[in-house]
Amino acid sequence: MKTVKLALDWTPNINHIGFFVAQEKGFYQALDLQVQILDPFVDKYQTTPAKKVELGQADFALCPTESIISYRTKKEPFDLIAVAAILQNDLSAIVVEKNKGIHSPKDLDGKVYGSYNARYEEAIVMEMIRNDGGQGNMNVLHPEKLGIWNTLWNGNCDATWIFLNWEGIEAQKMPASFNYFKMADFGIPYSYSPVIAASEEKVSHKTDTYRAFMQATKKGYAFCQHQPDEAISILHKKRPENDAHIDLQQALAMSLQHFGGEKEWGMMEKKTIQKFVRWIKEKGLESTDISADDLYTNTCLID
């Protein structure tokens, strides 16, 4: 069997459910694949998922589109490319506690933002603040990545970036109330997140293997549409203990329509990526000449 390694962007959560279903139900094995799913908890996020692909420690990584841009434009570029989108629509948002008097992004001026320290992240949030009429002068904290969500509700920061279909579901069970600011509501044409990323060179050399991986993965996400209860029971066994209180049924219900149907799952549109690339360049966040065509391919999704 061919071994394929996938580096997750976070500890197992609802965005990953299709991988675990495909693994548990034997969809990968049926295509002669042995898939190893790498949890970032193992090394406490010392090496990012995309870096694991660059170092040859993984075939695929989950990351946001801006990571693709960052790897393509860094001092020593790496040919990272998006091969599928987990979500067809952006389900991320900036979250804040209501009782801190933050009613819209402009109120983040002078507040503390818990950052993942990604290359464009803080600049994106500052642009959101400016688009809402603020100055964009927030303070930044860089906690341990896997503990960032905790820094919000323990009071060490005032805002951070989350997924509404995971931390947002968890927040509904907390005693505090929260406000959520989505990129699109404040003039930021944010792109796909997370995407499945790989080395472009390896995509061309291992097309059959990578296509088989995507075919089985797509089947895993389709299974969630048709057999949600069984899919939830599979994820239940994989999620970390500190997420045991998150309502998986609610998380999946929010996610299903955004995973897309069997035909469109994973597919990416050039215009969506191009808008984000153009915005990043217009805002001076990136000066390198780069096109959306360099950042993604749907090749592995075509049967």
At 252-269, the pLDDT tens digits run 999 999 999 888 999 999
Over residues 102-115, mean pLDDT = 97
Angle, helix 207-226 to helix 248-259, in steps of 10 degrees: 120
Note if the pTM is more than 0.75: yes
pLDDT of residue 212: 98
User: Does residue 153 register a pLDDT over 90?
Assistant: no
Q: Which of 21-25, 91-95, 243-247 has the lowest mean pLDDT?
A: 243-247
Using CA atoms, how far residue 281 sits from 72, 77, 108, 120, 286, in Å, is 14, 18, 24, 11, 5
Three-state DSSP at 117 gives coil
Residue type, 195: V
Cα 84 from Cα 297, distance rounded (Å): 8
Amino acid present at 127 = E
Residue 262 pLDDT:
83
Total length of the chain: 303
The residue to which tokens 């390896």 are assigned: 202
The pLDDT mean for the chain works out to 96
- Report pLDDT for 230: 98
Could you tell me the domains of the chain? 2-88+192-301 (3.40.190.10), 92-186 (3.40.190.10)
pLDDT at 303 over 80: no
134 close to 197: Cβ distance less than 8 angstroms: no
53 pLDDT more than 90: yes
Average pLDDT over residues 228-239: 97
Distance CA 67, CA 117 (A): 12
